[in-house]
Each structure stands twice: as structure tokens, then as C-alpha cells.
């Protein structure tokens, strides 16, 4: 195999611990999906990852730290995706694209998203992560509303405040629908899209 020893990547071989760490996070995600946060014990996570509790504490300081890392991983994936997505200028297209991306994200990582929301209050780190994500979303919605002709500003009937409310509508609606089924999620998405369009004045 080609041994390009020159400045390739900072670390040539992957640490064993990196694999374990990923295993821990993957196990955690799986457990969240079918036990929920409360029922999930750090013993469970360790066992799933093939180590003992003691060893797990070498990687993470607490149960909360594990799920914080998992949320961070998921949310960074989300940021990545929205950064890459081409921005279209046509409001209708922008809205449809945003909703589609969101559906995919929730289909893939619903349990993690729900857990992140649930723990936003009690785990400050997760609260920050989620708040930042929401702010990105709100900024995007605001931009679309303004481009569609809604007056800029923070008053209750202006773009910024409306975008915030629409963001929470989408979050909560997806939160519930993603517990049901993919079909429900798709329907929920259509409903949110319709209200978003109406609020933007794009549907008479």
C-alpha cells in the first residue's frame, strides 16, 4: 500500500480508544432508541460497548457526558449538512428543501434528537448545543420570510419573532411525529410546510 509518509494527516494510525469511543456512542444511540434515557444505565452502555463500567469512565466522566458527546456528534452532522446544502433564492424551493432535510435527519436520528430536547433543561452543555442549532434554524427561516416579503423586525408580526415560533412548531411537531412512524413524520412535515408558506404570504 502507498506509504505517503509526508504531511498527510496529523495522526497516522487510529488509536484503539477512538474505536471504543465510537462504539460507546453507537451503543448509547441504540439504547436511547429502545430504552430511553432514564432506563439506560452506564452499565448497559459499557456492556454494549464490550467493556466494564470502570473502563467507560476512562472515556467519559459521566452518563451525561456520554449523551452530550452523542448529541454533539449528531448536531455537528446536521450543521455540516446545512452548510453544504446549496442556498436557493426562491422561497418556495428553500422551504421545501429545508423541510426535506429535516425529515431525513429525524428519520435517521429521531431518538437522539428527542433526548437532546428532553435534556436541554437539565444538562447545560446540551442546552447550549440545541440553542445554537435552533438559532441557525431561526436565522434561516427569518431570511426566507423576509425574502418572501414579510417585514423585517422583532415585533410579534415581523419576521424574526414569527421565525422563532415557526421553529418551535417544527421542533415539537417532529418530536411527536417521529415517535409514531415515517408516514406521520412526512405528513407532519407537509403540515408545517403549509403553515410556513401561509405565514410567508405565499399561499392566499
* Burial per residue of 113-140, b for 16 or more beta-carbon CB atoms within 10 angstroms, e otherwise: bbbbbebbeebebbeebbeebbeebbeb
118 binds its own copies (CB under 8 A): yes
Classify residue 10 as left (phi > 0), alpha (psi -120 to 50) or beta: alpha
Rounded CA-CA distance 18/3 in Å is: 22
Q: Of 54 and 156, which CB lies nearer to DNA in the complex structure?
A: 54
For residue 122, the minimal CB distance to its own copies (Å) is 5
Q: Cβ distance 25 to 70 under 8 Å?
A: yes
Q: Which stretch binds its own copies (CB under 8 A): 19-27, 68-76, 86-94, 183-191?
A: 183-191
| Partner in contact with 132, chosen from its own copies, DNA, none, beta carbon below 5 to 8 Å by kind | none
For residue 165, the minimal CB distance to its own copies (Å) is 5
For residue 203, report the phi and psi dihedrals to the nearest 5 degrees.
-130, 130
164 binds its own copies (CB under 8 A): yes
DSSP single-letter state for residue 107: H
Which has the closest alpha carbon to 193: 56, 99, 76?
A: 99
For residue 39, the minimal CB distance to DNA (Å) is 9
Q: Which stretch binds its own copies (CB under 8 A): 7-15, 47-55, 140-148, 193-201?
A: 193-201
For residue 26, the minimal CB distance to its own copies (Å) is 22
Q: Of 58 and 168, which CB lies nearer to its own copies in the complex structure?
A: 168
For residue 171, the minimal CB distance to its own copies (Å) is 6
Rounded CA-CA distance 204/199 in Å is: 10
| Partner in contact with 57, chosen from its own copies, DNA, none, beta carbon below 5 to 8 Å by kind | DNA
Q: Which stretch binds its own copies (CB under 8 A): 18-26, 50-58, 100-108, 116-124?
A: 116-124
Q: Which residues contact 143 (CB under 8 A, 6 or more apart)?
A: none
What is the total residue count of the chain? 204
Residues engaged in binding its own copies (CB under 8 A): 36-38, 114, 118, 121-122, 156-157, 161-162, 164-166, 168-169, 171-173, 175-176, 187-188, 190-195, 198-199
Amino acid at each position: 500500500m502507498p506509504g505517503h509518509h509526508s504531511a498527510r494527516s496529523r495522526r497516522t494510525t487510529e488509536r484503539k480508544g477512538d474505536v471504543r469511543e465510537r462504539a460507546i456512542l453507537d451503543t448509547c444511540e441504540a439504547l436511547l432508541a429502545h430504552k430511553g434515557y432514564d432506563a439506560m444505565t452506564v452499565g448497559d452502555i459499557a456492556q454494549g460497548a464490550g467493556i466494564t463500567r470502570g473502563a467507560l469512565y476512562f472515556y467519559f466522566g459521566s452518563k451525561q457526558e456520554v449523551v452530550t458527546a452523542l448529541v454533539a456528534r449528531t448536531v455537528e452532522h446536521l450543521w455540516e449538512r446545512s452548510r453544504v446544502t446549496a442556498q436557493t433564492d426562491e422561497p418556495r424551493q428553500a422551504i421545501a428543501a429545508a423541510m426535506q432535510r429535516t425529515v431525513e435527519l429525524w428519520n435517521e436520528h429521531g431518538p437522539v434528537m428527542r433526548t437532546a430536547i428532553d435534556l436541554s433543561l437539565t444538562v447545560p452543555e446540551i442546552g447550549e448545543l440545541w440553542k445554537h442549532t435552533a438559532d441557525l434554524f431561526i436565522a434561516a427561516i427569518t431570511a426566507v420570510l423576509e425574502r418572501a416579503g414579510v417585514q423585517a423586525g422583532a415585533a410579534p408580526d415581523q419576521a424574526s419573532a414569527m421565525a422563532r415560533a415557526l421553529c418551535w412548531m417544527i421542533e415539537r411537531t417532529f418530536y411527536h411525529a417521529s415517535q409514531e412512524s415515517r408516514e406521520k413524520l412526512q405528513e407532519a412535515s407537509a403540515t408545517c410546510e403549509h403553515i410556513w408558506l401561509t405565514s410567508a404570504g405565499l399561499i392566499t
